[in-house]
Amino acid sequence: MKNICILSNSIKDENLELGKKIRKDIVRLAKEAGIEGINTPLLDLCDDEDIDTKGIEAIIVIGGDGSVLSAAKRTIGSGVPLIGFNLGAVGFLAEVEPSDSEKALKRLLTDDIKIEERMMLRGSVYRNGEVVETGHALNDVVIARRGDMMLSGYSISVNGSYLSDFRADGIIISTPTGSTAYNLSAGGAIVKPDARLIQMTPVAAHLLNNRSVIFSGDDVVAVSILPSTGRHPVATGVSFDGNQHAALQEGDVVKVTSSGQVTRIIRLSDDGFLQILQKKMV
């Protein structure tokens, strides 16, 4: 592997110091291994500039899980696999700790890697029958109230069939990858990331039976925003992986399906998902 792009989150990697070190290490390790023609562009993930993935074989993302999500969205459709170097807290997506970076770089350079394909979600906001917002998510599509303490009302249907109405702080619609993110905090089920399904988890729902529901990866989940029961509408919005947001109005419908896109994640650890989960949750 000769063409490795480095995307570093300058909020976590001040002055891109770790990114610069990793670039130097790649050049040094390639020279030691007799690999010539190394190309290692270093970019700030916080910049709004387009990311040119032409000819790139892998992208190192320096930051945390949120940085990997941002990189996945900005490189969607490229097919270039991502590997996260963790400067965050949990690191389910950002597997490599800085102390293990040299070992990881050696394996990248020699293609001693495994690549997992993760399903993504596509969410579309319909207003008066017209699409006004569309987003993709590797983790989740979250519909939630904003600002005040009143509950938002939601009507749920699946494949055109009515399921239920309820009021809650919000709803999380997640992929298996996103099951260990906000979904986990809200009491949703943990799912192996290579599964293909859609999980819906209410957030602080005003229900006696406040449970997650798991659907097929081929299902279409539609969430309609119900009128407020109070004197004023409840401010409600939708977010896609937390980095794309849109305000919602009463009567809007958010339809969520599996996306035609996938995110390719580079894995180096020989541990299975359960072993990784056990380490992260200790």
Residues identified as active-site: 65
Give dist(CA 241, CA 198) in Å, integer.
15
Are 141 and 69 within 8 A, CB to CB? no
DSSP 15: G
Give dist(CA 102, CA 106) in Å, integer.
6
Are 67 and 61 within 8 A, CB to CB? yes
Beta bridge partners of 224: 155, 253
Give the residue among 201, 144, 211, 195 at the shortest CA–CA distance from 174.
Answer: 201
End-to-end alpha-carbon separation of the chain, Å? 35
Give dist(CA 193, CA 205) in Å, integer.
26
Are 70 and 93 within 8 A, CB to CB? no
Give dist(CA 175, CA 278) in Å, integer.
20
State both tokens at 280.
């992260």
β-strand 4-8 against 58-63: which pairing, if any? parallel
